[in-house]
Amino acid sequence: DNFLPKTSAPFSTNSYDAFISPNTLNLSSFTKLLKKLQEIHPEASRDRIVDALLEVRKNNKGILSGLSINSIVKRTSVIL
């Protein structure tokens, strides 16, 4: 986690930066999600958690957008 900056950058208004693909989980959400899952499942490796998240995405028609963080956490926890 030390390689990620702790401060958030201001949102860019450049058109190429403004669009975020609907099936892309943004990095800050992903980091929060990973941290939460690591707290709930300290026995699981980071790679195992990421694999479980990918499985949740696969089971949800290939996307995570539209699911709440809590829903993703619950579904991932079932797999872990």
Contact residues for 11 (Cβ-Cβ < 8 A; gap 6+): 18
* Cα of 74 vs its chain's centroid, Å: 13
Q: Is the pTM of this model over 0.85?
A: no
Neighbouring CB atoms inside 10 A of 52's CB total: 20
Contact residues for 31 (Cβ-Cβ < 8 A; gap 6+): 1, 4
Domain boundaries, the chain: 31-79
Q: pLDDT (tens digit, 9 = 90+) per residue, 27-78? A: 788 888 899 999 999 999 999 999 999 999 999 999 888 888 899 999 999 9
